[in-house]
């Protein structure tokens, strides 16, 4: 696999801080207050050690990307499920349930498409392109299934 020439470089890692035994001067010749000062200055804090994280291997990065794509797919499919069921709420008690459900289903799908595009753009800007690709795949894959299920529900409501 070749490297992507258009990918932004990773941020540089901070250099590790020196420990007490890395100091250029011996700790035994100093006074106790100077030793305490040097030791306190040389001891890494929790924030400094948390900032230095190892770079994950290529296999680990690939597994994380796959998980993010799958997460986006399942989120989009869950959105299709909501777009199918939420229009049933106003359609059930109405006198014309099929007409109310048809309009509600179309509106819910348009809202879902808008949400997928907006989330895809924001995820891409936050450098989570895998999730935005998953959202697009899930929305495209779920659209035919949602259309068939929506038409089936429309006929079931009309027969009622």
- 15 three-class SS: coil
Domain that holds residue 63: 58-159
pLDDT score of 115: 93
Listed range (72-76, 110-114, 125-129) with the worst mean pLDDT: 125-129
Q: Is the domain of 66 the same as that of 131?
A: yes
- Confirm whether 3 is domain-assigned: no
Considering only residues 73 and 41, tell me which one the structure prediction assigns the higher pLDDT: 73
pLDDT score of 45: 57
E strands along the chain, which residues? none
Q: Is the domain of 92 the same as that of 144?
A: yes
pLDDT score of 28: 55
Q: Is the domain of 91 the same as that of 27?
A: no
Residue whose structure tokens are 């001067």: 25
Triad 47, 49, 54: Cα angle to 5°: 125
- Confirm whether 10 is domain-assigned: no
Q: Is the domain of 31 the same as that of 91?
A: no
Q: What is the mean pLDDT of residues 71-81?
A: 93
Q: Is the domain of 107 the same as that of 31?
A: no
pTM greater than 0.75 (yes/no): no
Q: Is the domain of 81 the same as that of 104?
A: yes
Structurally, the chain folds into a number of domains equal to: 2
Confidence of residue 129 (pLDDT cuts 50, 70, 90): confident
Dist. CA 157–CA 47, nearest whole Å: 60
Q: Is the domain of 63 the same as that of 90?
A: yes
């Amino acid at each position: 696999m070749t490297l992507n020439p258009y990918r932004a470089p990773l941020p540089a890692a901070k250099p590790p801080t020196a420990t007490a035994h890395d100091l250029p001067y011996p700790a035994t010749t100093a006074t106790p207050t100077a030793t305490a000062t040097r030791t306190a200055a040389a001891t890494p804090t929790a924030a400094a050690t948390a900032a230095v994280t190892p770079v994950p291997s290529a296999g680990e990065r690939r597994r994380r990307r796959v998980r993010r794509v799958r997460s986006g797919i399942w989120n989009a499919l869950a959105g299709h499920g909501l777009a199918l069921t939420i229009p049933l709420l106003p359609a059930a008690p109405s006198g014309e349930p099929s007409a109310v459900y048809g309009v509600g289903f179309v509106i819910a799908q348009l809202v879902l498409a808008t949400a997928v595009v907006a989330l895809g753009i924001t995820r891409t800007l936050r450098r989570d392109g895998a999730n935005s690709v998953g959202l697009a795949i899930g929305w495209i894959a779920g659209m035919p299934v949602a259309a068939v299920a929506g038409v089936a529900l429309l006929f079931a409501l009309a027969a009622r």
